[in-house]
């Protein structure tokens, strides 16, 4: 069965409204338009403006002159009215527009969350349809498969609605249904699964796979929010993670019990990138090191294999933003608090204890200093 909407332009407004209401009452209930539907649009006496169009994933159509028309939740008569209004400025006489719902696929439609169109399978249940969403793109990186993966996404599976023929069949707790071994209501072609976000918005920034806003439930933690953002990257630090909660900033580490504490609406989590530091001179393994959890000079030297026998730890050279500092590591035996903290791009040179030849130092680190001076020019 095909559904028709037909309207005239501005001089016949009263006639237009009356005809549209009559048409709506005569139409079958499935005439509400969804993504994937095919519509035949006819602008009478203007064949160049008449064509067959498909409703796109955002539930809109595009037509010559009329441009983009939002058809979300509309039946053909209402769509025809919108097209006539969009075309009206281009005509001296009011255009007459007909819209026919020409065909529709055997599809299910999803609003909210990942959105889109699903292929309808006979006997499909709500849980089965949601599992197919998770398999496609509803779950975050590393979240797992099926409903478990979708449960760890931003979607609130405790609050899922099914809309049929413009009316809601109810709201369903899919987690509870699954726990009880039930698949939920059996779906029909044209049904819409309406998804909503979890109640608490948490910003996850910095060195994570997908920085941005995540949505968590009452029982989910800061760590869950980070996982929903795809988890930390390989280059991320495991410490010095900041939590901004209402202006109060605290520092966390991935292994802290606090990271598993409940997340709250408005939290902002920032995961820093682990500093990459170059350690040269008399160490066991000269080269670049990544400081994942301890950003200090002693840690950098330890990551480079530690000092060798002839190292002079009383005159370790640190270059930060082009400025050189000499550090006496032997004094740390009495005061470890003096162990300087390093930053990304810093250079460390451990000299020979027998003779400190600063020309050797400069020749060794000069190639490394060039990009530093380029990035941080002196004023």
pLDDT along the chain (379 residues), means of 10: 51 38 38 81 92 85 93 90 92 88 79 78 90 62 58 90 86 91 89 91 96 94 94 92 96 92 96 94 93 89 91 92 88 71 93 63 48 42
pLDDT at res. 338: 74
Distance CA 225, CA 151 (A): 12
Distance CA 208, CA 225 (A): 11
Q: Is the pTM of this model over 0.85?
A: no
**How is the chain split into domains, by residue range?**
3-104, 108-194, 202-271, 276-375
3-state secondary structure 85-127: HHHHHHCCCCCCEEEEEEECCCEEEEECCCCEEEECCCCCEHH
Instruction: Output the CATH code of domain 202-271.
Output: 3.10.560.10
DSSP state of 282: S
Same fold, 202-271 and 276-375: yes
Yes or no: say if 279 and 216 are a contact pair by the CB < 8 Å rule: no
Tell me which of 1.10.645.10, 3.10.560.10, 1.10.3720.10, 3.10.20.600 is the CATH number of domain 276-375. Answer: 3.10.560.10
pLDDT at res. 38: 86
pLDDT at res. 132: 82
pLDDT at res. 250: 95
The superfamily in CATH containing domain 3-104 is wza like domain (3.30.1950.10)
pLDDT at res. 136: 58
């Amino acid at each position: 069965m095909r559904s028709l909407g037909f309207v005239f332009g501005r001089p016949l407004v009263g006639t237009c409204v009356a005809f549209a209401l009559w048409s709506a009452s005569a139409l079958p209930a499935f005439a509400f338009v969804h993504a994937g539907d095919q519509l035949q649009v006819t602008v009478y006496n203007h064949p160049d403006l008449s064509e067959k169009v498909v409703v796109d994933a955002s539930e809109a159509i595009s037509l010559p002159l009329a441009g983009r028309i939002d058809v979300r939740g509309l039946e053909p008569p209402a769509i025809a009215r919108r097209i006539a209004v969009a075309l009206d400025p281009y005509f001296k006489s009011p255009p007459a527009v007909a819209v026919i719902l020409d065909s529709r696929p055997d599809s299910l439609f999803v609003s909210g969350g990942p959105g889109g169109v699903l292929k309808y399978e006979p006997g499909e249940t709500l849980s089965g349809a949601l599992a197919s969403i998770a398999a496609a793109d509803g779950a975050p990186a590393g979240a797992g498969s099926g409903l478990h993966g979708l449960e760890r996404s931003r979607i609130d599976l405790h609050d899922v609605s099914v809309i049929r023929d413009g009316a809601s069949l109810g709201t369903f707790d899919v987690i509870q249904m699954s726990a009880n071994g039930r698949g939920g209501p059996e779906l029909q072609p044209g049904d819409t699964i309406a998804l909503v976000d979890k109640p608490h918005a948490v910003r996850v920034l910095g060195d994570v796979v997908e920085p941005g806003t995540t949505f968590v439930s009452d029982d989910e933690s800061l760590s869950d929010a980070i996982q929903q953002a795809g988890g930390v990257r390989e280059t991320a630090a495991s410490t010095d993670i900041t939590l901004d909660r209402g202006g109060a900033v605290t520092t966390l580490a991935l292994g802290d019990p606090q990271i598993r504490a409940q997340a709250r609406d408005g939290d902002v989590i920032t995961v820093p990138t682990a500093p990459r530091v170059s350690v040269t001179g008399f160490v066991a393994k000269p080269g670049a090191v990544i400081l994942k959890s301890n950003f200090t000079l002693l840690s950098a030297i330890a990551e480079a294999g530690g000092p060798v026998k002839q190292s002079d730890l009383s005159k370790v050279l640190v270059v930060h933003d082009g400025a050189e500092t000499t550090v006496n590591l032997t004094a740390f035996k009495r005061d470890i608090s003096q162990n300087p903290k390093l930053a990304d791009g810093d250079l460390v040179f451990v000299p020979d204890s027998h003779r400190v030849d600063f020309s050797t130092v400069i020749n060794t680190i000069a190639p490394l200093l060039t990009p530093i001076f380029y990035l941080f020019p002196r004023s």
